[in-house]
Amino acid sequence: MKFIVNSAYLLKQLSNINGVITTNPVVPILENFLFELDKGSLTVTASDLQTSMITELQVESKERGNIAVPARILLETLKNLPEQPVTFSIDESTYSIEIISDNGRYKLSGENATDFPKVPSVSNDFSAEISSEVLSRAINNTIFATSNDELRPAMTGVYVNLGEKNTTFVSTDGHRLVRYRRTDIKSDNGSAIIIPRKALNLLKATLPGENTPVSIDFNLSNAFFKFGNIRMICRLIDERFPDYENVIPTQNNIKMTIGRTDLLSALKRISIYANKTTHQVRLKITGSELQISAEDLDFSNEANERLSCEHEGEDIEIGFNARFLVEMLTNLDADQIKLTMSAPNKAGVILPTEQDKQEDILMLVMPVMLNQYV
C-alpha cells in the first residue's frame, strides 16, 4: 500500500481531528489514526470510543488498503518537516510504515486496522442544518457553564432542545445557568439531546472561520455533525436534564443597568483582593451608585470601587462569586447589561440590554452568603 501526499496538507487535516485522542485510552489502539486508502482518497479516523472524528483528503495513489498509524510520532514528524510531498509505503503483512521525504526516511510500526473500533452509524431520526457561525456562538455562550461533576453527568454537557419555533441551548453547574435561544434554528420533529462538553470543545476548535453549513443528524444515542471534509460522531449523554425553567426567577423587581466593560474591568481588579477560596465580591447598590468590594481577612487584603449605574427598585447588598461574573460578562458582547435581583439570597439574572433579533440569551448566577464585616 503506497500513497503520496503534501506534508503540510496532511498535518493540517490530522491536527483537525487529533484532539479526540487521549493520552491513556481505554484501548491502546486508540493512540493511533486509522488510515483507509481507496485509490486517490484517504479517510483518517481518530476516536476515544465516546467521540470519533473523520477527515477525508485527496492523495496520489492507485491502491487500496488500511492500517492504524501511531498518532503522536506521525504528528511530531510532520510538524518538523518543511512543506513537501511525502511518500507513505506500508507493508500490510508486517504493519511497518516507511515515510520517505526529501530529508530522509522514517520507519515506524503500525497496527492491524481491523482492531480499530467501528465508528457507529447514525440513523437520522432527527436532522437539522445550522450555520457554523451560529453553532459556534451557541457553544461559546454555554460551554463555560457546564459542570465537571461526573456524579451529575447530565450537567457535564449542553442540553439542546430543538423545537418548531426555536432551538434552546442550556448549560448549568448548579451555581450558574445559561439559556441561549435561537429563533433561526427550527425542527418540525422536535427533540431534546445532551451533547458532551468534550465533543462541543472539539467542534468549537475545528469549525471553520468562514461561515459554512453544518448538518446535524441524531438518534437517541449518537449525534453526527458534518461540515466541509470533516465528520464527527459523538455519544449523547443519556440522562435527564434538570428542570431549568423553574429555576429562572420571574419576579426580580430590583434592576441595575450598567456598562458591561466597566463592570467587567472593575470586577477583574477587585477580585484580585477577594478570598481565593470563595472569590466573593460584594455588590452594594444604592440610588444610582454601585459599590463593589472584596476582602481577604487571612491576608488583610481589601479593595473597593464605585461605579455609576441606572437603578430601579430597592437598594440591595448581595454577594457573588467574582469568577462566575467575570466569565459570564466576558462571554456577552453587549455594550450594556441589566442585572435583575429580588433578595440577597435569591438568584441574579444577567441580560444584555440589546440582542440580535434571532437570539435570546439569559444568564443566571446564584449568590454567595456575605461575610458580615463592617
Domain ranges of the chain: 2-115, 126-245, 248-365
* pLDDT over threshold 90, residue 71: yes
> Rounded CA gap, 372 and 357, in Å?
43
pLDDT value, residue 373 = 46
**Residue 59, pLDDT above cutoff 90:** yes
CATH number for the segment(s) 248-365:
3.10.150.10
Q: What is each CA distance from 112 to 22, 29, 45, 59, 229, in whole angstroms?
A: 20, 9, 14, 21, 25
Residue-level pLDDT at 209: 81
Among 169, 200, 199, 166, smallest CA distance to 183 is for 166
**pLDDT of the residue at 372:** 54
pLDDT of 182-207, one tens digit each?
998 887 777 899 999 999 999 999 99
Mean pLDDT of 224-230: 94
Q: Which segment of 117-126, 292-301, 311-320 scores lowest on mean pLDDT? A: 117-126
- CA within 13 Å, CB half, 299: 12
Residue 271 — left, alpha, or beta (φ > 0 → left; ψ -120 to 50 → alpha)?
alpha
Q: How confident is the model at residue 374 (pLDDT cuts 50, 70, 90)?
A: very low
pLDDT value at 323 more than 60: yes
Q: Is the pLDDT of residue 231 over 80?
A: yes
pTM: 0.90
Considering the four listed CATH numbers 3.40.50.300, 3.40.50.150, 3.10.150.10, 3.30.420.40, the one that applies to the domain covering 126-245 is 3.10.150.10
At 371 the pLDDT is 63
Q: Do domains 2-115 and 126-245 have the same CATH topology?
A: yes
Cβ neighbour number for residue 174 with a 10 Å cutoff: 13
- The CATH code for residues 2-115 is 3.10.150.10
State what percent of residues in the chain have pLDDT above 70: 98
pLDDT for the residue 271: 96
What pLDDT digit, counting tens, does each position of 275-290 carry? Answer: 999 999 999 999 999 9
**Looking at residues 228-255, what average pLDDT do you find?**
94
349 three-state secondary structure? strand
**CB-based contacts of 307-310 (< 8 A; 24+ apart in sequence):** 307/258, 307/262, 307/263, 307/266, 309/256, 309/257, 309/258, 309/285, 310/256, 310/257, 310/258
Which one, of 20, 28, 70, lies nearest residue 46 by Cα?
20
> What CA–CA distance (Å, rounded) separates 267 from 98?
56
Q: What is the pLDDT of residues 140-186, one digit of tens each?
A: 999 999 999 999 999 999 999 988 899 999 999 999 999 999 998 88
DSSP-derived secondary structure letter, 203: H
What's residue 179's pLDDT?
Answer: 97
Res. 307: pLDDT tops 60:
yes
